Amino acid sequence: MEDCLAKKMEITVSEAEKRTGRNAMNMQETYTAYLIETRAVESQSEGQCAPVDSLWRRYSEFELLRNYLSVTYPHIVVPPLPEKRADFVWHKLSADNMDPDFVERRRIGLENFLLRVASHPVLCQDKIFYSFLTQEGGWKEMVNETGFQLKADSRLKALNATFRVKNPDKRFTELKHYSDELQSVISHLLRVRARVADRLYGVYKVHGNYGRVFSEWSAIEKEMGDGLQSAGHHMDVYAASIDDILEEEEHYADQLKEYLFYAEALRAVCRKHELMQYDLEMAAQDLTSKKQQCEELATGTVRTFSLKGMTSKLFGQETPEQREAKLKVLEEQIQEGEEQLKSKNLEGRDFVKSAWADIERFKEQKNHDLKEALISYAVMQISMCKKGIQVWTNAKECFSKM
């Protein structure tokens, strides 16, 4: 992927800053701004670093960018943004958007989003995306000027509305089903993981109480005192160790969350196909009925029941001139309809082709990323076990000296 922007440009979201300003309703608000830094990748031989460009963006601008990309490239599984509000929290984690840990994790998530877009063969070439990274002022206006909101199909927003599609591409139907199941299973996993984290936290922290009581007990002992005291210290270390362990695990949760949201993006592509297929089928149906009307007018036979037919029977027939005019209009419409149907068909097939290509790309990426995530999770668990063995071995040694 030599054309990929990510290869030509280093992109980081390096800082987050609290800002206050006035919103659209002229009310004071507090928000966080993120610093995007970009630098052209120079050839290694020069050994020189290109200058860093930077600009500040807030979350809502990222949202605008993503909306634009989703509408403009409906056949692409567009990378998701990190969550808007903290979800799947366990008790120690804050659900507050201003909480520094949340902001930090969001910063990483936003950087990840930009890198995903920049390494996508199609998306990375988008001008609006490039301007997002490089042009501070007037970017919002530029996006709105593309008029992408008009292109947006409001029906896509109605997630659960069903359309009776007679001949969808089976692969998309299966894929939509898969994305629903994936969303469900990852949500469940994240919820239970949060509860597991909560409980594990409790187990570790209670051990801290040993530290205090061993210390108090050691005060009344002679030979046992030192051993107890130092063992108590190790219990304190044990209790404190859980904070770092669980913080690291949040990164794993974030990786899972990304694919939870990716499942939504996948579903959106399937829905788009459904809608296109629906429109196509509706257009074909409309064309067929117009052709029938035409035939009926021409031959004078009424094959199907129609109100017009009935009224004309009841209130008298049309004049030959009227009939002629109507036929002409219909014939024009039929011609238009046939052309539209042709182009819709073509559109539909192009969509299926390019969407499926991106879906294959996405599947590979997903398998690779999730495997990596599972490996890093296993590594985290291994590290936690080793720490546990270390602490208890130290404590055992202290006890042996009692």
Partner 1 sequence: PGSGPKSLREMPHPLATSSSEEMGPALTPSPDLLLPRSIADKDLSLPNGTPVDTSSPASSSSLLNRLQLDDDLDGETRDLFVTVDDPKKHVCTMETYITYRVTTKTTRAEFDLPEYSVRRRYQDFDWLRNKLEESQPTHLIPPLPEKFVVKGVVDRFSEEFVETRRKALDKFLKRITDHPVLSFNEHFNVFLTAKDLNAYKKQGMALLSKMGESVKYVTGGYKLRSRPLEFAAIGEYLDTFSLKLGTIDRIAQRIIKEQLEYLVELREYGPVYSTWGGLEVELSEPLEGVSACIGNCCTALEELSEDMTEDFLPVLREYILYSESMKNVLKKRDQVQAEYEAKLEAVALKKEDRPKVPTDVEKCQDRVECFNADLKADMERWQNNKRQDFRQLLMGMADKNIQYYEKCLTAWESIIPLLQDKPETK
Can residue 206 be called a binding residue for partner 1 (CB under 8 A)?
A: yes
* Cα dihedral across residues 21, 23, 27, 32: positive or negative: negative
As to burial, measured by CB atoms within 10 angstroms (0-12 exposed, 13-18 middle, 19+ buried), residue 323 is middle
The interface region with partner 1, picked from 4-12, 44-52, 130-138, 218-226 by CB under 8 A, is: 218-226
DSSP 119: T
The whole-angstrom distance between residue 396's C-alpha and the CA centroid of its chain comes to: 48
The interface region with partner 1, picked from 23-31, 65-73, 114-122, 379-387 by CB under 8 A, is: 379-387
DSSP 49: P
β-sheet bridge partners, residue 10? 39
Q: Which is nearer to partner 1, 41 or 374 (CB)?
A: 374
For helices 170-218 and 320-400, give the axis angle rounded to 10 degrees. Answer: 20
The interface region with partner 1, picked from 75-83, 138-146, 216-224, 298-306 by CB under 8 A, is: 216-224
Can residue 263 be called a binding residue for partner 1 (CB under 8 A)?
A: no
Can residue 385 be called a binding residue for partner 1 (CB under 8 A)?
A: yes
Q: Which is nearer to partner 1, 42 or 360 (CB)?
A: 360
Can residue 149 be called a binding residue for partner 1 (CB under 8 A)?
A: no
Instruction: Tell me which of 49, 95, 161, 192 binds partner 1, using CB under 8 A.
Output: 192
Can residue 91 be called a binding residue for partner 1 (CB under 8 A)?
A: no
Can residue 186 be called a binding residue for partner 1 (CB under 8 A)?
A: yes
Spatial CA neighbour of 56 closest among 38, 39, 33:
33
The Cα 159–Cα 149 span in angstroms is 18
Q: Which is nearer to partner 1, 168 or 388 (CB)?
A: 388
Can residue 244 be called a binding residue for partner 1 (CB under 8 A)?
A: no
Q: Which is nearer to partner 1, 104 or 397 (CB)?
A: 397
**301 contacts: CB under 8 Å, gap ≥ 6:** none
Can residue 220 be called a binding residue for partner 1 (CB under 8 A)?
A: yes
Please state, as a whole number, how many other Cβ atoms lie within 10 Å of the Cβ of residue 324.
12
**376 contacts: CB under 8 Å, gap ≥ 6:** 251, 252, 255
The beta-carbon contacts of 195-201 under 8 Å, at least 24 apart in sequence, are: 195/90, 197/90, 197/246, 197/249, 198/90, 198/91, 198/92, 200/242, 200/246, 201/90, 201/91, 201/92, 201/242, 201/246
CB of 177 to partner 1, least distance (A): 10
Can you tell me whether residue 355 is helix, strand or coil?
A: helix
Q: Is 100 left (phi over 0), alpha (psi -120 to 50) or beta?
A: alpha
Instruction: Tell me which of 105, 116, 193, 257 binds partner 1, using CB under 8 A.
Output: 193
Can residue 346 be called a binding residue for partner 1 (CB under 8 A)?
A: no
CB of 161 to partner 1, least distance (A): 25
Can residue 174 be called a binding residue for partner 1 (CB under 8 A)?
A: no
CB of 162 to partner 1, least distance (A): 22
Tokens at residue 107, please? 């910063």
Instruction: Tell me which of 125, 285, 292, 367 binds partner 1, using CB under 8 A.
Output: 367
CB of 164 to partner 1, least distance (A): 27
The whole-angstrom distance between residue 363's C-alpha and the CA centroid of its chain comes to: 15
Can residue 209 be called a binding residue for partner 1 (CB under 8 A)?
A: yes
Residues that bind partner 1 (CB under 8 A): 178, 181-182, 185-186, 188-189, 192-193, 195-196, 198-200, 202-203, 206-207, 209-210, 213, 216-217, 220, 223-224, 227, 231, 367, 370-371, 374-375, 377-379, 381-382, 385-386, 388-389, 392-393, 395-396, 399-400, 402
